[in-house]
Each structure stands twice: as structure tokens, then as C-alpha cells.
A = this chain, B = another copy of it.
Amino acid sequence: MTEKKETILQTALELFAKEGFNATSTSKVAKEAGVSEGLVFKHFNNKAGLLEAILKEGEKKFKLFYADVVMENDPRERLRKIILLPFQIAEEEYEFWKLQFKLKWELGYDSTEKMKPLVESITKAFDELSYPAPSLEAELLLQTLDGLSTAIIKHEVSDPENLMKLLLKKYEL
């Protein structure tokens, strides 16, 4: 990965996040990155390829993000860890996650498949804690965390700390 290639990727990420994929032209990406437009196509074939590279990195980051949760053996601790996740997103990464959400809407991306291991892991945790409807509990919790995550990266949450505490309390964690 050359330096310029990385610059292109980073610039595209920022612009796609700010303006959207279709609203961002390849010429703008090139200009902003201080690079010829041709180079963008040399490295990524076409505009869709550039997007794909960004999405791939997103998936990697996402998996890394929740790997610690899935690996946790103690069910209570596993639930605690996943609830903490949305509140641990670093502020300098808000743009990155915003792009991931944005693109998933723009492209009609279905993420259920990639979420499966996480869903199962949380379901199992609820099961081990003898919740009467583990899979429903898992679904509800994950949707809640999804809503919270989007609100957080949009800076729409006033008091994250106490919101987190409230949620933990609801699951007696």
C-alpha cells in the first residue's frame, strides 16, 4: 500500500461520509487528495472499487470491535461488554462509523448475515442467564444498541455516561 493510495482511501472516506457516495466525484477525491484522477482508477479500478475497499476496512474494524465480546466466556460479562461498545466509540472515529451507517442505507446493504455470530453469542448469554426468551432478548438488545450507536455518532445523546448506567442496570449488570 503506497502512501498516495492510502491518502486516496482516507480522503474518499471523509468525502463519502460528508457528502455521500453518489454526490462525491472521483475528480474531487483526487483533487482533495492531491493526486491525479487517473491514479484513483489505477489503484481501485473504478469508483465502486474504491467504495468496496472502504467497506472492507469497515467490516474489519467492526469485527475487531466486537471480537472481545464474542470471546468473553462469562455470560454476564459478555452482556456488559456489548452494552459498553456504543459508548466506547472514539470521537475521532465518528466520521468513520457515520459513513458505514450512511452507506448501508444508501446501498440497501443487508448486515444481518454479518451480525449472526454476534446475535448468537448474545442469545447464548441470555440463555445461560436463564432469560425466558433469549433470542428475542438478544434481538431487542442489539436493536437498542444500534439505535444508541447512531444517536451517539450523530452527537444526539446528551448524557452518554448515565444512559449507559441505566441500560446496565436494566440488565442487572
Contact = CB atoms under 8 A, between A and B. Distances in A.
Given A23-B22, A101-B105, A106-B105, A143 B137 contact: no
Given A112-B156, A167-B140, A133 B148 contact: no
Interface residues of A, number: 33
Copies of this chain per assembly: 2
A156 B22 CA distance: 25
A147 B142 CA distance: 8
A151 interface: yes
Given A101-B105, A156-B112, A143 B136 contact: no
Contacts of A144: 140, 143-144, 147
A157 interface: yes
A61 B133 CA distance: 34
Contacts of A91: none
Nearest to A143: B147
A23 to B, nearest CB: 4
Contact of A22 (B22, B110, B147, B158): B22
